[in-house]
Amino acid sequence: MYNPKREIYSKLCEINGIAVSQSSQNVFNSVPAVTYRIEGNAAEYYLENEIASQRIYCVIDIWTDESTTASTLLAQVEAKMRELKYRLNNALDVPSPEGALYHINATFVGLR
């Protein structure tokens, strides 16, 4: 079974100037920051009970002080994830109160 966490972490760390953490609680110490988690990892099997493929859902949250920085960072994240053969499935601006961090939530799907 393929476990994608290490590969995703390494690829996201290639983006200069961001903090990257694998966290379902979105914990980070500085911005801009990217947090990610595997939301699903579903396997398909051959008749012989061997794994034929896996559909992996990765959720990436982007946190910044400025909206334009968040959008720029989303483009960089999308390009890095595409290098790993993941496709952007959905991206949305998460509403937040005045003075809070800007937050983009993006879901990527990969087939292994």
Euclidean distance between CA atoms 23 and 18, whole angstroms: 15
For 12-41, write each residue's pLDDT tens digit: 999 999 989 887 677 778 889 999 999 999
- Residues 53-60: what's their mean pLDDT? 93
The yes-or-no verdict on residue 10 having pLDDT over 90 is: yes
User: How do beta strands 19-22 and 51-64 pair?
Assistant: unpaired
| 80 vs 19, higher pLDDT | 80
Position 40: which residue type? G
Euclidean distance between CA atoms 41 and 71, whole angstroms: 27
> The pTM is what?
0.88
Nearest alpha carbon to residue 16 among 76, 88, 91, 85: 76
Domains and CATH numbers, the chain: 5-111 (3.30.2000.10)
The yes-or-no verdict on residue 7 having pLDDT over 80 is: yes
CA distances from 14 to 9, 29, 32, 80, 93 (A): 9, 19, 14, 8, 24
